[in-house]
A = this chain, B = another copy of it.
Amino acid sequence: MNKILKLNTRDKTTLLRTPFMASLGASAQARMLEIATVMSYEARDILFREGEAADSFYCVLNGYVRLFRLNKDGREADIRICGPGDTFAECLLAMGDHYLYNSQAAETITVARFELQKVRALAEQEKDVAKAIIQCLSNHLRNTMDCIANDRLQTAPQRVAHYLLDNCPQEGSSASIRLPFQKSLLAGKLGLAPEALSRAFSSLRRAGVTVRGRIIQISDISALKQI
């Protein structure tokens, strides 16, 4: 199932490039590396479930992780999709010892794991760590509030257009994007059923969006902004 790995050089550099770790001073970085564990999971593996006793938070090194909740009928709703560099379950650092949602590997992934207690202790000593936590929570909160606003204000085609524009390599009138994950994952991220995403893409054809597999061509970026 999942493997505990030694922290190799490549993982170490990936970890240090993470927004969370990159902002730390040298001594704080070293101490965080000391307490880091790297783990790997296969597609569809569950990292943890909602309500389980929580002892760690995570940082994605490779691949994508899906955070989701279940309603009592067993229907799933994604709360967040975490990619390389993203941390999750950090809000347990302040308080709470049970995970608030389920987390699942969307593909083969490697993650770094940090024991909450050790990081709490470290945050007491190293001001950098506390600052990095604040930074991290703030970003996360910002994104989550944006997500609520988008859910409540935008239709499916608008959400897709918004996602595409957010992931466009800046300037030029046209662009080409390669989705970093399956369409069904994007659907969940945008709060849509896969069918709704598919329909949204086809309704964006008239705005110059062409989809072939994971490759998305945008012929007119400014037209997309009008959606």
**Residues of A near any B CB (own CB < 8 A):** 69-71, 75, 77-80, 90-96, 100-101, 123-124, 127, 130-131, 133-135, 137-142, 144-149, 151-154, 191
Contact = CB atoms under 8 A, between A and B. Distances in A.
Contact of A127 (B95, B124, B133, B145): B124
B149 A147 contact: no
Nearest to A90: B138
B137 A141 contact: yes
B148 A144 contact: yes
Given A80-B145, A127-B127, 13 more contacts: A69-B149, A75-B153, A78-B152, A91-B141, A91-B142, A93-B138, A94-B135, A94-B137, A95-B139, A100-B145, A130-B134, A140-B141, A152-B191
Contacts of A92: 138
Contacts of A140: 141
